[in-house]
Amino acid sequence: MSDQQQNRARLHREYDRVWGNWPGWGALAAVNHTSVGLRFIVTGLVFFLIGGVLSMLMRTQLALPEQDIIGPELYNQLFTMHGTLMMFLFAIPVLEGVAMYLIPKMIGARDLPFPRVGAMGYYCYLFGGLIILSSMALSIAPDSGWFMYTPLSSSTYSPGPGSDFWLLGITFVEISSVSGAIELLVAIMRTRSNGMSLTRMPIFCWYIMVMALMIIVGFPPLILASILLELERAAGFVFFEVAGGGDPLLWQHLFWLFGHPEVYISFLPAAGIVSTLLPVFAQRPIVGYRWLVLAVITMGFISFGLWVHHMFTVGIPQLAQAFFSLASMLVAIPTAIQIFAWLATLWTGRVVWSLPMLWILGFLIIFVAGGLTGVMLALVPFNWQVHDTHFVVAHMHYVLVGGMLFPLIAGLYYWLPHVSGRMPSELLGRWAFWLVFVGFNMTFLLMHVTGLLGMPRRIYTYQAGLGWDWLNLLSSIGGFVMAMGVGMLIVDLLLHFRFGRLAPRNPWNADTLEWAVDMPVTTYNFISLPDIGSRHPLWDDRQLPERLESGQGGLVEIQADRRVTWGSDAVTGQVREVVHVPSNSWLPLQTGVLLAVVCLGLLTKFYWVALGASLLALLVILRWSWHNGGHPLAAPLRDDDPQDPPLHSRTCDGPGRWGMLSTLLANGSLFACLLFGWFYFWTVSPQWQVPAQAPLSATPLLLAGLLLSAAALLYHRLTVRLCRGQAQGLAGGLWLCTALGLGHSLVILWLMLDAQLTPRSLAHDAVLAVMLGYLLFHGVLATLLTLLQALRVRLGYVGVRLPYEPMVLRPLWSYTLGVFWIALAGFFLMPMAW
């Protein structure tokens, strides 16, 4: 063995020791992005198969008219669960899993910046999914549709626990999606390898960045709506009931404010896969990189302006409908730009034909067809005719299956060698493709016709002789053909792990960095980190993988057994700091389990259990935050700390601050929706009632505001001084902040008790109660975390050389201050002026 090989083997051993998962059950404590990403993907595929089985049951029932195999009760559960599984438990988590797996590798990082958050997200997803599925096994599954329209889903018309399973389980899963999005966003912005400027990022990163931002802004509306509906169901608060001044339409607004962007959230990463694969198979750089960036950003925004197009039949003024109709058509433009940029890439390249390309072609045909019917649906008069018919079912499956599933499978085939080190089988793969493609079109192409003939959605049976019989029969047969194709795909995937031909390194001759890692994949990706000089590092330098593996890149030496990767400037990608990330930890699993207990406690109405578990979860999370920065279990101060660049916990602007800002963006979206709900009620709720006397009194409100302002300003000043290297009075200042924050929280609490709200009979009071609870939560949270900071200063985990954590916390204080005064204006001043 030569010296070089010996050196390489030594490095691998070292890295395995520091970065490896624990053996046996210890693997559950794994936090590295490769393991977590793969877990997301595999779990998501299992949910996909279950959702597929449900759809087969539905197609069996609908194959012939007037069948009685499945009654309406079960059928309603089936279509509700099918939609729920596919949208919430399959599409988003799998795509996030793919992104979590790929992004660090593509940007030349060793891990995501918050690995424990990723792991916790996975457990939230898994447990939430299992809770939802368990309702199916107990045959008390939700049955009001995946859109859960009120009042059908409220306790009067759905008295069973089905809706509760949905609301709690989905909220649980969404926490996972949002945390994953925050992690991906910060990873892309702050942990790119040296020199990877914004414009040198692989195009996939732009797609994921926009997707992550969309999740961060788009999921909170549904989280809020779910919380409100669950409060209505469990505690009798009035939000969506007309009698107390609520409005069922608010649910639809909040749901579609989430629901429409969600379609694009699942399309964008899939389109990102297409944009990554096509240039590789055309063996030329993607055409129109800048156009694509422009299209993706545009799409991310405009897709938020479409939500009302799901509500064209609720009786909104036609002019307002026309706005949304036009916005819906506008989305066709960025889509068309992408389609034609891809076309131009193929046009100017020499295409190597292979299995992933077949799936991409399938994607193109199906997705363009779905997009065209989408433009038709954006036209209001046409929409009135086919809304809620099988035409829409067909359109939606064309868009989602074509726009998400086909590229996903293309991607799976493309990146399979990366995971297994083996190539997929062309023969079985082709069979699977053709079965899925033919089966799909047979099912859904015909469904357009069925819909135009007037067959509504969500009916469990239909009369013979309306002209729908043979169409439905053929649709059902097509469905089974497609199911066979999916089965064959699964068989192919499983067999290839055993029999696949061994893959060479970079088997497709790709240009992106993820192919520079070892195959099969390791948990640390790179022994040394590359310098990036262009958008196609592997086409520029075919020896790059070799060089990185033999330690000729950056950040080779392991110090103090820390897991480290670069932290870089968000725009230029120049290295700014060394980010140290945590290793294996049980905390995510513990948090996940405790949150699941909270969820189950709420479901079974054992509220004390739920409360106890929440407090325990809070303790675990605080412990988690304790093991950070300068704590001995993280990165305690040492004499040989790297200086240039420094460790991120020694700086004032590390990834944590960016994570906090992203979290607050999600939080702000939730707050904005609450505010929207309030104004919505005031203006359009049909029986809005205002109590005769304003429930909040001015003096305590002002007092609370002044205390909070003092705390936030003091905190701001302390951190500014700390970053200038002045730490005198830091501990005392933090204690004072804590005291002020405590005072503020107590005043809010007093206000809540004093106001004598009647949220069970008035929507006005219900919204007010939620808002006060929101303010109280933030006051308490900021106070508690500041208290911990004060303690950490005393223990020496925070100080002049460790200013990181107070800086992470600073935006929370500013945010709390901001929402307080906005709430004051909206909830106290606005009603006075009305």
- Residue 533 interacts with another protein (CB under 8 A): yes or no: no
Q: Interface with another protein by CB under 8 A: which range of 456-464, 576-584, 698-706, 780-788?
A: 456-464
State the Cα–Cα distance between residues 315 and 311, nearest whole angstrom: 8
Please give the Cα distance from 566 to 546 (Å, whole number).
20
Q: Which is nearer to another protein, 10 or 458 (CB)?
A: 458
**Angle at 304 (CA atoms; ends 303, 309), nearest 5 degrees:** 80
Given 24, 25, 290, 833, the residue binding another protein (CB under 8 A): 290
Which residue reads 């792990």 in tokens? 497
CB of 185 vs another protein, minimal distance in Å: 13
Q: How far apart are CA 173 and CA 86, in angstroms?
A: 13
Instruction: Output DSSP code: residue 72.
Output: H
Contact 657, 732 (CB under 8 A): no
Within 553-572, which residues bind another protein (CB under 8 A)?
570-572
CA dihedral 197, 199, 204, 206 (to 10 degrees): 90
Which residues, 33 to 92, sit near another protein by CB under 8 A? 72-73, 76
The neighbouring-strand residues paired with 389 are: 456
Residue closer to another protein by CB (options 454, 818) is: 454
Q: State in angstroms the smallest separation of the CB of 378 from another protein.
A: 8
* Structure tokens that stand for 42 in this block: 């595999």
Q: How far is the CB of 783 from another protein (least distance, A)?
A: 29
CB of residue 485 vs another protein: minimum separation in angstroms?
20
| 611 near another protein, judged by CB under 8 A | no
The whole-angstrom separation of Cα 689 and Cα 245 is 6
List 543, 683, 699, 728, residue binding another protein (CB under 8 A):
683
132-191 residues near another protein, rule: CB under 8 A? 144-145, 149, 151-152, 156-157
Part in contact with another protein (CB under 8 A); list of ranges 371-379, 480-488, 535-543, 815-823: 371-379
Of residues 371 and 500, the one with the C-beta less far from another protein:
371
**Among residues 9, 138, 235, 372, the one that binds another protein under rule CB under 8 A:** 372
Positive or negative CA dihedral for 672, 677, 678, 682? positive
Closest distance to another protein from the beta carbon of 679 (Å): 8
Q: Is 271 in the site for another protein (CB under 8 A)?
A: no
Closer CB to another protein, 248 or 553, in the complex: 248
Cβ proximity to another protein: between 301 and 626 the closer is 301
Distance CA 444, CA 456 (A): 15
CB atoms within 10 A of CB 699: 8
- The residue (of 148 and 228) whose beta carbon lies closer to another protein is 148
What is the Cα–Cα distance from 557 to 637, expressed in whole angstroms?
18
Binding residue for another protein (CB under 8 A) from 227, 294, 713, 822? 294
Tell whether residue 596 is a contact of another protein (CB under 8 A).
no
Name residue 456's beta-bridge partners.
389
Per rule CB under 8 A, count of chain residues that contact another protein? 100
Q: Is 322 exposed, middle or buried (0-12, 13-18, 19+ CB in 10 A)?
A: exposed
Helices (H) and strands (E) in the chain — how many of each? 27, 2
Tokens of 694: 């304003």
| Of residues 431 and 682, the one with the C-beta less far from another protein | 682
Minimum gap (Å) between residue 10 Cβ and another protein = 38
User: Based on CB atoms, which residue is closest to another protein, 249 or 396?
Assistant: 249
Closest CA relative to residue 507, chosen from 491, 496, 494, 492: 496
- Residue 379 in the binding site for another protein (CB under 8 A): yes
Residues 343-362, mask of contacts with another protein (x by CB under 8 A): xx-xxxxxx-x---x---x-
Q: Which of 366, 201, 346, 343 is nearest to 281 (CA)?
A: 346
> Is 381 near another protein (CB under 8 A)?
yes
User: Distance between CA 393 and CA 424 in Å, rounded?
Assistant: 33
List Cβ neighbours of 660 (8 Å cut-off, separation of 6 or more). Answer: 808, 809, 811, 812
825 is an interface residue for another protein by CB under 8 A:
no
How far apart are the two ends of the chain, measured CA to CA in Å?
84
291 touches another protein (CB under 8 A): yes
Residue 689, judged by CB atoms within 10 A of its CB (0-12, 13-18, 19+), counts as: middle
Choose the binding region for another protein from 106-114, 164-172, 240-248, 770-778 (rule: CB under 8 A).
Answer: 240-248
Q: Over the Cα atoms of the chain, what is R_g?
A: 27
Q: Per-residue x/- mask for another protein, residues 311 to 330, rule CB under 8 A?
A: --xxx-xxxx-xx-xxx-xx
Tell which residue, 442, 438, 428, has the closest CA to residue 487. 428
Closest CB 347 distance from another protein, rounded Å: 4
Which of 293, 436, 752, 755 is in the footprint of another protein by CB under 8 A? 293
Q: How far apart are CA 551 and CA 530, in angstroms?
A: 10
DSSP assigned state of 506? S
Which of 20, 382, 473, 642 is close enough to bind another protein by CB under 8 A?
382
Residues 180-239 that bind another protein (CB under 8 A): 197-199
Which residue from 237, 415, 460, 681 is in contact with another protein, where contact means CB under 8 A?
460
**Least distance between another protein and beta carbon 217 (Å):** 10
- Kindly tell me which residue out of 686, 729, 732, 773 binds another protein, with binding defined by CB under 8 A: 686
